[in-house]
Amino acid sequence: MKKNKKILIVAAHPDDEILGCGGTIIKHVLNGDEVHVLIMAEGLTSRDVRRDVSLRNKELSQLYANTYQAAKIMGVKSLKICDFPDNRMDGVELLDVVKKVEEMVETIKPDMVYTHHAGDVNVDHTVTHNAVITACRPLPGQTVKTILFFETLSSTEWQIGTCDKIFMANWFVDIEATFAKKMEALKCYDSEMREYPHSRSYESVEILAKYRGTVIGCQFAEAFSLGRLIS
């Protein structure tokens, strides 16, 4: 009998989970896997000169409501949103971020973890990446056997392509059957989307999915870089 997997998605901001692996999340759910999502930063206050969460309470409440609605559309089992400062996570002690991820790993005991690529332009993405790598280090008893890094439009592709920063796609997921629902979930974040040809536009999301699909001979795909695989 097939053993269903436990999946943990660790994303820096609300919308990254869908941009990076929304179609794959839905595919996991349809396959009977248990998917949990952890969002690290609050996602709004970087627009202000000084961080004052109280000035953004109403907007943050709406953003979080949208995040839960997106999770419901995708069918994830649980969603947790932390309150690390948006685009200021480089000012947070890494250990504090690691502990939040470790707490989820210990509670859920996932088989697979998806998170950001180390080369992303966005500093919150790189801090999140580093925290996941630390929290999922292969100590005795560690349940995490697979770590995959996703690409996030308006961050991954904006990095200068040096050998230590470039995203190398070597793991692909056919999302032809789940792409429409991915886009439905993404529309929960309409306020975060931009007009084409901005890379964080609905058109760009479709273009990337089609391009990744051509690499493996299907209509739509999501691409990942394999960090670790223990068989």
pLDDT in tens, 158-200: 999 888 889 999 999 999 999 999 999 999 999 999 999 999 9
Q: Could you tell me the sign of the dihedral formed by the alpha carbons of 194, 83, 152, 158, in that order? A: positive
- Measuring CA to CA, which residue among 209, 117, 133 is closest to residue 167? 117
Q: What are phi and psi of 112, to 5 degrees?
A: -130, 145
Specify the pLDDT at position 56. Answer: 79
Q: For the residues 37-61, what does the mean pLDDT come to?
A: 82
Give the tens place of pLDDT for each residue, 79-97: 999 999 999 999 999 999 9
pTM score: 0.96
Q: What are phi and psi of 33, to 5 degrees?
A: -80, 155
Give the tens place of pLDDT for each residue, 16-37: 999 999 999 999 999 999 999 9
Specify the pLDDT at position 164. Answer: 83
Q: For residue 49, is pLDDT > 70?
A: no
Within 149-201, residue ranges assigned H as helices are 179-186
Ordered by where they begin, the domains of the chain are 6-229 (3.40.50.10320)
Give the tens place of pLDDT for each residue, 122-168: 999 999 999 999 999 999 999 999 999 999 999 999 999 888 889 99
Helix, strand or coil, per DSSP, at residue 81? strand
Round to whole Å and give the CA distance between 231 and 228. 10
Specify the pLDDT at position 51. Answer: 67
Element (H, E) at 115: strand 112-116
Specify the pLDDT at position 2. Answer: 66
Element (H, E) at 173: strand 171-174
First to last CA, the chain: 18
Looking up tokens 């690529």, which residue turns up? 117
Element (H, E) at 133: helix 123-135
Q: For residue 1, is pLDDT > 60?
A: no
